[in-house]
Amino acid sequence: MSNFFLIAGPCAIEGEQMAMDIAGRVNEICTRLEIPYIFKGSYRKANRSRKDSFTGIGDEKALEILRKVGNHFGVKTTTDIHTEPEAAMAAAYVDVLQIPAFLCRQTTLLAAAAQTGKIVNIKKGQFLSPEAMQFAMEKVKEEGNPNVWLTERGVTFGYQDLVVDFRGIPVMQSFGAPVILDCTHSLQQPNQSSGVTGGRPALIETIARAGVAVGVDGLFIETHPKPAEAKSDGANMLPLERLESLLERLVAIRKVII
C-alpha cells in the first residue's frame, strides 16, 4: 500500500498571492513526507446559503491562478464544476474536475465531465448510501473515461449535522475506484440560523486518523493561513500552520497499517 495522496488548498480562490502561498507551503510539506499533492481551489462558489455570500473573484481570473499554481509547482490542480458548459471550460485549466455532493446524481453533468478526459472526482451526496455511488461512477465510465475518484464527505444527521460512516470507504473501494475522505466538509454543521454554515474543525485530526487507519486512498483537507478571515467555509478549515504536524502523524499511522 502506497502513501495516501492529499487534495488541499483554500475553499475558494481569493487571489493569486494567497493561492501561491498556500500551494507552496503544502507542496513543501508533501514533498518532504512523500505525499502526492493536488492543489484545490474553487474558481467559483455556486452553492451558497445566502445570496450575499462570497462567490469568487471572476471565473477566468481564478482559473488562470489555478493554471499558474499547477505550472509553477508542478502539481495537479482541481476545482469543482456546477453545469455542463463549465466542464470543458475548467478542463482547459485543471487536471481533476470535482463534482459537488449535491450534484452527484446529475447525469448530464457527469457525462460532460467524463467527456473532457480528465479525472472526475465525485463527492458522495449527503443523502446517498455508499452503494449508490457505484451508479454515479458508472455514468462516467460509460462515457469512455475510466478515471473516476469517489469522495466520502459525511451523511446528513438531523437538520444541522453530518456523520461519517467509515464502512463506506471499503464499500466504495470495492467498485475499483480510489476513495478520498473529505476531512473538513465532513465536519460541517449546515442550516444554521445565521445562513452561514458552521463546523467543528477541532475534529479534523480525528476524522483524518480514522480514515487513514481504515485504508483510505486520499485525504481532502481545506486549509488557510487565517480561517477566520477566509471568504468561504472558514468554519471548517484547518489553519495552515497545523497541517505539517498533522500530516506527520497521519503518515506514521499509514506506515503502521501497511
Rounded distance, CA 65 to CA 56, Å? 12
Cell numbers linked to 21: 502561498
Assigned CATH for 5-94+126-134+151-257:
3.20.20.70
Q: What are the pLDDT digits (tens) for 31-72? A: 999 999 999 999 998 765 566 667 789 999 999 999 999 999
Are 169 and 179 in contact, with CB atoms under 8 Å apart? yes
- Size of the chain, expressed as the number of residues it contains: 258
pLDDT score of 216 more than 80: yes
Q: What are the pLDDT digits (tens) for 122-143? A: 999 999 999 999 999 999 999 9
Alpha carbon of 104 to those of 56, 83, 101, 120, 213: distances in Å?
Answer: 22, 12, 5, 11, 26
Rounded distance, CA 49 to CA 195, Å? 6
The structural domains of the chain, with segments of one domain joined by +, span 5-94+126-134+151-257
The pLDDT of residue 232 is 76
Q: What are the pLDDT digits (tens) for 220-235? A: 999 999 998 988 777 7
